[in-house]
């Protein structure tokens, strides 16, 4: 097999291999609520709410599952001096990168005092990250997507999304809880206007390099979005694309899916006096307590919720079959090894082994580095070209070890005593350089945290 064929195969995989996703979880394939845990403790965001357990919520008519969808609402009948009964649920399963798609017939309306959200949450907030996909308060008319992280993440303005950049620094905690935020300029993306249009579909793609969020009003969703093999490359411009000085694979991990509707609290309560809602009551809590009929439309009606993984990979590994014109290859990349890398490969972060069933090495390109072109002493052995995660390319026998890791800025051909021949390609920086750069970048961000706003736990 020629190197030209090898690199042509790599180029094809790089261009197309990561575009498609496969279904990992369909939350409508069984009992929807059995896949979630019900939060029945105090609201971490200090809302005027009484979250109900699953049985209490079902008995009160706050949750229901029918053939047409899933309903989650709030009490809209009784005055509630200790907080309005509602529901907050968290998925039993957590995810590491992927694609989350939800189709909604209805979300809580733009109601004074209400603070609904569909979001994802990692452990040890904010260090595990938080992805707010749908969120708003009071009489808000457009959706706002927000990220919260530990130190070391910021996003930048770009033409890759259609929304409006509100905040660029993602680290949260203490008094600095705005996170980084992009608002959808379309007024039918949230609340009352969303419901008036018959609802719509949200898709969130999360990779190590970016997090994108799309919204399609009813009737405009691309055909493959909820299909077996959705491909975000054909979906057009998202309203939000978070990218910049951040590794989104490290800053967001073990994310669980969350639905909730709370009231007042750290955001809706604090914003009460600055909205038209202030004319309805002196305080947010007084309005929520004494006006149950205002919350008839404060419910979620879900048509579909699916989670997809890239190329069939699970939360711990990604495995994909690749065919070339001359051989068969299998590509496997555990996520744990991907996250631990200090340098990114020039093609993609996998180890590619393509069997050519050859007993001789092909001629190697000219190199000023010494190289042993002799064949190993064993006979009848198959040799395979390999592309390691550090960018090195070479040949190995079935029993040979991997090429040595390149830690310098240059590269050269090498041969090992165990029969490995290859080229160790340089990346321009070693791991010590990158670690120093990372420390400096984190220090810069820690000095920039001066914003105030909402928070999640």
- What does pTM read for this prediction? 0.68
pLDDT in tens, 44-98: 999 999 999 999 999 999 999 988 899 999 999 999 999 999 999 999 999 999 9
Model confidence at 186: pLDDT above 60: yes
Q: Which residue has the higher pLDDT, 253 or 339?
A: 253
pLDDT tier, 176 (very low <50, low <70, confident <90, very high otherwise): confident
User: Final residue of a domain: which of 270, 295, 310?
Assistant: 310
Query: Shortest CA distance to 163 belongs to which of 140, 183, 189, 144?
Result: 183
CATH code of the domain containing 203:
2.60.120.200
Per the structure, how many domains does the chain have?
Answer: 2
- Residues with Cβ < 8 Å from 206, sequence gap 6 or more? 97, 98, 99, 100, 131, 248, 252, 255
Claim to verify: residue 346 and residue 366 sit in the same structural domain: yes
Claim to verify: residue 198 and residue 86 sit in the same structural domain: yes
Claim to verify: residue 244 and residue 294 sit in the same structural domain: yes
Model confidence at 131: pLDDT above 70: yes
Report the distance separating Cα 102 and Cα 81, nearest Å.
34
Within-domain flag for 411: yes
Within-domain flag for 15: no
Within-domain flag for 123: yes
Model confidence at 177: pLDDT above 80: yes
pLDDT at 203: 99
Strands 49-51 and 84-86: parallel
Within-domain flag for 73: yes
Within-domain flag for 11: no
Boundaries of domain holding 140: 21-310
pLDDT at 392: 45
Claim to verify: residue 111 and residue 162 sit in the same structural domain: yes
Claim to verify: residue 352 and residue 251 sit in the same structural domain: no
Q: Which residue has the higher pLDDT, 175 or 18?
A: 175
Q: What is the mean pLDDT of the chain?
A: 76
pLDDT tier, 216 (very low <50, low <70, confident <90, very high otherwise): very high
Model confidence at 454: pLDDT above 60: no
Claim to verify: residue 190 and residue 326 sit in the same structural domain: no
Claim to verify: residue 304 and residue 396 sit in the same structural domain: no
Largest CA distance in the chain: 88
Report the distance separating Cα 242 and Cα 117, nearest Å.
19
Provide the annotated active-site residues: 130, 135
User: Final residue of a domain: which of 279, 310, 341?
Assistant: 310
pLDDT at 313: 52
Claim to verify: residue 101 and residue 225 sit in the same structural domain: yes
φ, ψ for residue 21 (rounded to 5)? -120, 160
Which of the residue ranges 13-22, 62-71, 246-255 would you say has the lowest mean pLDDT?
13-22
Cα 50 to chain centroid distance, Å, stands at: 30
Within-domain flag for 441: no
Claim to verify: residue 346 and residue 294 sit in the same structural domain: no
Which of the residue ranges 17-26, 79-88, 109-118, 296-305 would you say has the lowest mean pLDDT?
17-26
List strand residue ranges (DSSP E) for 124-210, in order.
Answer: 130-135, 144-148, 154-155, 164-167, 180-183, 200-206
pLDDT tier, 175 (very low <50, low <70, confident <90, very high otherwise): confident
Claim to verify: residue 347 and residue 263 sit in the same structural domain: no
Answer for the pair 87, 256: CB distance below 8 angstroms, yes or no: no
Within-domain flag for 437: no
Give 406's DSSP letter: P
Claim to verify: residue 194 and residue 339 sit in the same structural domain: no
Claim to verify: residue 120 and residue 174 sit in the same structural domain: yes
Report the distance separating Cα 422 and Cα 238, nearest Å.
42
Q: How far apart are the first and last CA of the chain?
A: 55
Cα 10 to chain centroid distance, Å, stands at: 25
- Kindly give the residue spans of alpha helices, DSSP state H, lying in 60-138: none
Within-domain flag for 452: no
Percent of the chain clearing pLDDT 70 (strictly above): 64
Average pLDDT of the residues in 156-175: 96
Average pLDDT of the residues in 420-446: 40
Average pLDDT of the residues in 198-226: 98
């Amino acid at each position: 097999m020629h190197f030209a064929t090898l690199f042509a195969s790599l180029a094809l995989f790089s261009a197309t291999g990561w575009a498609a996703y496969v279904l990992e979880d369909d939350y409508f394939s069984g009992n929807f609520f059995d896949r979630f845990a019900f939060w029945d403790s105090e609201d971490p965001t200090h809302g005027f709410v009484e979250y109900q357990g699953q049985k209490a919520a079902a008995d009160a008519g706050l949750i229901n599952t029918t053939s047409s969808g899933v309903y989650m609402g709030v009490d809209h009948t009784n005055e509630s001096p200790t907080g309005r009964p509602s529901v907050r649920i968290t998925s039993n399963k957590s995810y590491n990168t992927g694609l989350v798609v939800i189709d909604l017939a209805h979300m809580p309306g733009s109601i004074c005092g209400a603070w609904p959200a569909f979001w994802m949450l990692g452990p040890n907030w904010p260090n595990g990250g938080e992805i707010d996909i749908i969120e708003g308060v009071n009489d808000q008319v457009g959706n706002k997507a927000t990220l919260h992280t530990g130190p070391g993440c910021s996003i930048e303005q770009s033409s890759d999304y259609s929304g409006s950049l509100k905040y660029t620094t993602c680290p949260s905690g203490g008094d600095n809880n705005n996170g980084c935020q992009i608002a959808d300029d379309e007024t039918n993306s949230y609340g009352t206007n969303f419901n008036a249009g018959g609802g719509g579909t949200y898709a969130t793609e999360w990779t190590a390099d970016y997090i994108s969020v799309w919204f399609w009003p009813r009737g405009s969703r691309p055909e493959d979005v909820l299909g077996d093999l959705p491909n975000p490359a054909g979906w057009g411009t998202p309203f939000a694309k978070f990218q910049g000085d951040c590794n989104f694979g490290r800053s967001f991990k073990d994310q669980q899916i969350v639905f909730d509707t709370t009231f007042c609290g750290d955001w809706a309560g604090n914003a009460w006096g600055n909205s038209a809602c202030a004319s309805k009551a002196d305080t947010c809590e007084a309005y929520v307590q004494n006006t149950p009929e205002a919350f008839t439309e404060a419910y979620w009606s879900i048509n579909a919720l699916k989670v997809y993984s890239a190329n069939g990979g699970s939360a711990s590994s990604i495995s994909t079959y690749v065919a070339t014109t001359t051989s068969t290859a299998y590509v496997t990349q555990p996520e744990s090894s991907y996250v631990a890398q200090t340098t990114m490969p020039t093609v993609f972060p996998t180890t590619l082994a393509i069997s050519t069933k050859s007993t001789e090495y092909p001629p190697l390109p000219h190199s000023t580095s010494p190289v042993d072109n002799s064949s190993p002493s064993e006979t009848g052995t198959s040799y395979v070209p390999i592309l390691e995660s550090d960018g090195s390319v070479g040949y190995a026998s079935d029993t040979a070890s991997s090429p040595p890791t390149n830690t310098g800025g240059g590269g050269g051909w090498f041969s090992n005593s165990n029969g490995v021949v290859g080229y160790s390609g340089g990346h321009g920086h070693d791991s010590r350089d990158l670690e120093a750069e990372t420390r400096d970048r984190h220090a810069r961000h820690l000095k920039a945290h001066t914003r105030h706003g909402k928070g999640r736990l």
